[in-house]
Amino acid sequence: MIQLKANTPRWIIILVDLLLSTFALLFAYLIRFDLKADKNLIAQEWYVLSKSIIIYYAVKLIVFYVFKIHKGLVRHTSTEDIQRIFLAVTTCSIIYLGLGFIRVYFFDKFFLFPTSVLILEAFATFLFMIGSRFTVKLWYLESLKSKHTELNVLIYGAGISGLMTKRTIEKDPRLNYKIIAFVDDNKRMDGTRLEGVPIVHSSKLQKLITENDVSNLIVAIQKPNEDNRKHVVEACLSNKVTIQKVPNAKSWINGEFSAKQIAKINIEDLLGRKPIVLDEEKIKNELSGKVVLVTGAAGSIGSGIVRRIVNYSPAKLILLDQAESDLYDLQQELLETEIKLEVVIGDIRNFDRMKRLFDYFKPNYVFHAAAYKHVPLMENNPSEAVLTNINGTKNLVDLSLSYHVEKFVMISTDKAVNPTNVMGASKRIAEIYAQLRNQKGVTKFVTTRFGNVLGSNGSVIPLFQKQIEQGGPVTVTDERITRYFMTIPEACQLVLEAGAMGEGGEIFVFDMGESVRIIDLAHKMIQLSGLEVGKDIQIKITGLRPGEKLYEELLAAEENTIPTHHPQILKAKNREEINSRLIAIDELITLFEEQDNITIVKKMKEIVPEFISNNSDFEKLDAK
């Protein structure tokens, strides 16, 4: 079809509308007289009509001009245009009726038009004008359609979001989508229709995909039931159906979103769990009006915590990190907030720099997220793990006590449980130090411990994504390896909740859900990219890295958990720490100067007896 590249001249639209009105008037007369063409009747009616026809056109022209009927782009006719046409046609009828009464009482006793004709004419004019516009619109949309074969599409969710998705797709025919059906979890809707499209229960999804050669499914439920969503996603992945999602409702503009915002679903969406419910009031009471320091503020978890804290009205928010560029980006992102920000470039290992920070800003609350986290790198650089993860934490803990910080919330890791690597052991020693110092002053030291965070720096997700984009192979260390996963928002929310409920000395453990096989994660990410394992992308097994273990734990064998008021946060009942470990930790830190990895790791094993190295050069220390 020929595409409409230029706007139709306004005078043509006016002329067409007047012509349609004329047809509507004739149609009204024909209906009034039962489609009879009696010559005497025609002559009689024409006598009255001939004196009214000029007024008829004059009123139409004036009213249509006032309501700007000719201004709308015909090929983009909307509900607003329909409303404007309806008001204009109704106004014309009211004017005709009013002028008819004037004519009856002051002139020749004739109405301009019979009342029945006025009603029929208004109805017909409205239908003709709307019909003509939608005919042009459909013609235009067809002219834009791609010459490629239409893709059969399902929309998951028959609510408001699903309806908006349907309309968005139909408004952008360049998508070349054909909506086969809505899929919904509500059994009562099964067999019904929404704007002409059938609604099918999700239990019939497999059959629906097979029978209709479905290529795409768009998730249009803002907060779907996790079990139902997993069922839908698994059905799609097994049938090589591309899964997409509509944007979050917060990003819609005036209740609408663009077709460009419909994006492929990502792995975080598949691994997310039920929404976390926070005690917002308690958190706000803890942080409102306080000076809050976040270390490692430019990192994945640190920046996530910062973004949450700004919602609780702190008096001042101090962002500390040594990563200059990332910290600058975070500062720019937060410029529009009303919170007073202080951006500090500094290293937690530098006691004098940290002392100056505490002395100048006097924080009431500290969230300690700064740490080295990469297992293989720390396995090769134990002295740096000691200097940052242990000595850096010690600096902050000691200064928090000296400056009477109200609460210190430390971000730890599941790798601190029965550690098999230097990184995990260094975090466990940092936990021990904070616990031992808990009752030495007013500061309450709280530790939060959780597993891998999806999308964080060093997470397997960005690595897999990069490998997929480069054509593979996707590298997995072992087919048996499993990990617990949590999204960044989930982790940050639970850190704030645990921090608010902590009374000092606790280690809070987060419900990480079920562990996930990394190789299954790789398969899903490849499938979500529209590729096939073994054909488009290979998966390569590389072997465990130094210090890596097959399965992560959240609690040590000597520990058990106590439930809290929050179903996703448990409190570890820890073994009692002995003060002699403080001396051992100080001795460990002094070993940094020697730069002797064997000596350093040996001392770490003395402090943490359950530290048994795995797949590492330090295994020989355990043998002795």
Closest CA to 164 of 249, 96, 44: 249
Burial class (CB in 10 A: 0-12, 13-18, 19+), 125: buried
Domain 151-265 identical in fold to domain 280-607: yes
Task: For residue 480, report the phi and psi dihedrals to the nearest 5 degrees.
Answer: -90, -10
CA-CA distance, 524 to 266, in Å (whole number)?
A: 10
pLDDT band of 550, cuts 50, 70, 90: confident
**Considering the domain 151-265, what is its CATH architecture?**
3-Layer(aba) Sandwich (3.40)
CA-CA distance, 190 to 202, in Å (whole number)?
A: 9
User: Among 159-173, 271-285, 355-369, 398-412, whose mean pLDDT is lowest?
Assistant: 271-285
User: Average pLDDT for residues 336-351, to the nearest whole number?
Assistant: 92
Kindly state the tokens that stand for 188: 């009562």
Q: Are strands 452-454 and 444-450 parallel, antiparallel or unpaired?
A: unpaired
User: Average pLDDT for residues 92-120, to the nearest whole number?
Assistant: 71
Taking CB atoms within 8 Å and a gap of at least 24, the contacts of 115-121 are: 116/28, 116/32, 117/25, 117/28, 117/29, 117/32, 118/28, 118/93, 119/28, 119/93, 120/27, 120/28, 120/31, 120/32, 121/21, 121/24, 121/25, 121/27, 121/28, 121/93
pLDDT exceeds cutoff 70 at 217 = yes
Helices (H), 502-579: 518-528
Q: Are strands 291-295 and 365-368 parallel, antiparallel or unpaired?
A: parallel
Chain segment 429-486, per-residue pLDDT in tens: 999 999 999 888 899 999 998 877 776 666 777 788 888 888 888 898 888 888 777 7
pLDDT of amino acid 253: 55
Q: Per CATH, which fold does 280-607 belong to?
A: Rossmann fold (3.40.50)
pLDDT of amino acid 59: 78
Q: Are strands 216-219 and 242-245 parallel, antiparallel or unpaired?
A: parallel
Chain segment 373-393, per-residue pLDDT in tens: 888 899 999 999 999 999 999
User: Average pLDDT for residues 68-86, to the nearest whole number?
Assistant: 67
> How many alpha carbons fall within 13 Å on the CB side of residue 532?
6
∠ Cα 107 108 111 (to 5°): 95
- Catalytic positions are 415
pLDDT of amino acid 307: 92
Cα distances from 7 to residues 14, 80, 518, in angstroms, run 14, 19, 56
Chain segment 143-154, per-residue pLDDT in tens: 655 555 678 888
∠ Cα 482 483 488 (to 5°): 155
User: Average pLDDT for residues 259-265, to the nearest whole number?
Assistant: 67
Kindly state the tokens that stand for 524: 């899903």
CA-CA distance, 548 to 612, in Å (whole number)?
A: 11
Q: Where are the domains of the chain?
A: 10-144, 151-265, 280-607
Task: For residue 287, report the phi and psi dihedrals to the nearest 5 degrees.
Answer: -105, -25
